[in-house]
Amino acid sequence: MDSLYYSIRTKDLNLWYGSFQALYDVNIQIRNGRITSLIGPSGCGKTTFLKCLNRINERHNYVRTKGETFILDKNIYDPDVSLIELRKSVAMVFQRPNPLPISIYENVAFGLRLHLPRNQQKKSAIDEAVEKALVEVGLWKTLKDKLREKATSLQLEQQQKLCIARVLPLKPDVILMDEPCSALDVEGTRAIEELMFEMRNKYTIVIVTHNMAQARRASDECIFMLMGKVIESARTETLFISPKNPKTAEYIEGRYG
């Protein structure tokens, strides 16, 4: 099968924090245009793996990796890979909404202002990109007359949608989400899940979640990790109804973790 059927592939990926090994020979294939959830108990390596996909772990000089990670068939550990370009292509949304303490408009425009040369920063083009991103996350109608207000004044659900909108003008291929609903109530969680479903054919989405109901409800495929290793990977329905590994069954049935 054509490798580009997969947005993400890893081959024997290992990671150490100093002398502590956090990932062991991780071999994963994540398909294009799907929502894939990473599940497992706290400390099993989910977020560590997620942060490998845009090499954000390397902000810490005590992190060491070994193995290969392919994004759209390019090994992101090749020496010619630009971290700036990688992080434009592989965007990240964090656990708690983290809008910048500036206007709603400038939050969405932030990436373009940061990465585009000044002579390409035409107001009309930025206006269009901001509107397009806010339309895509379902905020435009609500916020189009409030674009100059501070982003931190928004409700949490709106803040998290805004954080998703903030990555879209850079046209990422992959969006990583580290427990994006953990700070939200039931209604906010539902809104973010619905947004992910609307976006999934356009982007490959990888989400870390501790919420088994959310993993089952909001992902197409599921990967169960334990103690830094991938135990099982399957379509979500298959993994929850008929897991192959007893450890997977124990976890999803709530017997540990």
Does residue 113 lie in a domain region?
A: yes
The tokens for 89 are 């292509």
Task: Compute CA distances 123 → 10, 106, 126, 145, 164, whole Å.
Answer: 40, 12, 5, 17, 21
Per residue of the chain (257 residues), give pLDDT as tens. Answer: 444 589 999 999 999 999 999 999 999 999 999 999 999 999 999 999 999 999 999 888 899 999 999 999 999 999 999 999 999 999 999 988 999 999 999 999 999 888 877 777 788 999 999 999 999 999 999 999 999 999 999 999 999 999 999 999 999 999 999 999 998 999 999 999 999 999 998 999 999 999 999 999 999 999 999 999 999 999 999 999 999 999 999 999 886 65
Does residue 95 lie in a domain region?
A: yes
The tokens for 22 are 């956090």
Question: For residue 212, which of 245, 178, 257, 171 has the smallest C-alpha distance?
Answer: 257
Q: What is the CATH number of the domain that holds 82?
A: 3.40.50.300
Query: Which residues, in sequence order, are CB contacts of 79 under 8 Å at separation 6+?
Result: none
Question: Global pTM?
Answer: 0.93
Range of the domain at 237: 3-252
Angstrom distance (rounded) from CA 108 to CA 126: 9
Angstrom distance (rounded) from CA 80 to CA 91: 19
pLDDT digits (tens, 9 = 90+) for 130-163: 999 999 999 999 999 999 999 999 999 999 999 9
- b/e per residue 162-193 (b: at least 16 CB within 10 A): bbbbbbbbbebbbbbbbbbbebbeeebbebbb
Query: Which residues, in sequence order, are CB contacts of 150 under 8 Å at separation 6+?
Result: 101, 102, 103, 104
pLDDT digits (tens, 9 = 90+) for 215-244: 999 999 999 999 999 999 999 999 999 999
Query: Which residues, in sequence order, are CB contacts of 167 under 8 Å at separation 6+?
Result: 91, 92, 93, 111, 175
Place of tokens 């409030």: 146
Radius of gyration in angstroms for the set of CA atoms belonging to the chain, rounded to a whole number: 19
Does residue 86 lie in a domain region?
A: yes
Domain count, the chain: 1
Does residue 257 lie in a domain region?
A: no
Does residue 213 lie in a domain region?
A: yes
